[in-house]
Amino acid sequence: MIIIPAIDIKDGKCVRLAQGDFDRVTTYADNPVDMALTWVQKGAELIHIVDLDGSVAGLPRNANIILDIARKIDIPIQVGGGIRDMETIEYYLSNGISSVILGTTALQNEKIVQDACETFPEKIILGIDALDGKVAIHGWTQKTEQNAVDLARRYEHYSIKAIVYTDIKRDGMGTGVNIEATMTLAKAVSIPVIASGGVATINDIEELLAIRDCEIYGVIIGRALYTGAIFLEEAIRASR
């Protein structure tokens, strides 16, 4: 299982939200590029970046910073937030980004996901953000009645690289990963699943590793790394 540090960018800074609430913001670093370099130095093999402003606006707002990170580090980057058309997908993937995450688009425009998977196989990640098992979109500001597992199954036969599954209630709260929901999704589809939301201690990583009958491909860690509740090097050792 791969450990993936998260960098969420809002107003050009590295922040974390509590439960996706834009009114509950904590700024952890003024320079996301420096933060990315720090995670690389500590052994990160992949970095998860979200353009929070873009997720609400529906188009990239911090792409200059994200591409600057891509130029300055030598590990893969997966990017989400405001990616809703082929032009943006191509822009990121042709400028050093390893894979892009489609969330809102996956729910609202299956044709774009299909075209993206055909054009860029194994470069497209499905972002499923759920509140009580129901998908939320537009930077989590809009809740839907779409079941998370049903949405994942819709894309079972596309060349999706992975699914990032985030439990919104737990995200940024340090209350632990929703093991049951993550495991349910991972068992329901053959697409590799990346757990996200609520990672608080090394125990969360150990619980994900202990899951039987399915394998969790990776886990994204945000607030716990920034507060020092988890040290990246320790998490990487535990995952191996």
Q: Which residues are catalytic?
A: 8, 129
Dihedral Cα 46, 16, 178, 112, nearest 10 deg: -60
Cβ–Cβ < 8 Å for 165, 128 = yes
Cβ–Cβ < 8 Å for 191, 126 = yes
Report how far Cα 112 is from the mean position of its chain's Cα atoms.
19
Phi, psi (degrees; rounded to nearest 5) at 67: -70, -30
Residue written as token pair 């040290």: 231
Within 10 Å of residue 86's Cβ, how many Cβ atoms?
14
| 99, two tokens | 């894979």
- Return left, alpha or beta for 209; rule: phi > 0 is left, psi -120 to 50 is alpha, else beta: alpha
Closest among 58, 61, 46 to 5, alpha carbons compared: 46
| 119, two tokens | 């054009």
DSSP sequence for 137-203: ETTTTEEEEEEHHHHHHHTTTS---EEEEEETTTTTTTS---HHHHHHHHHH-SS-EEEES---SHH
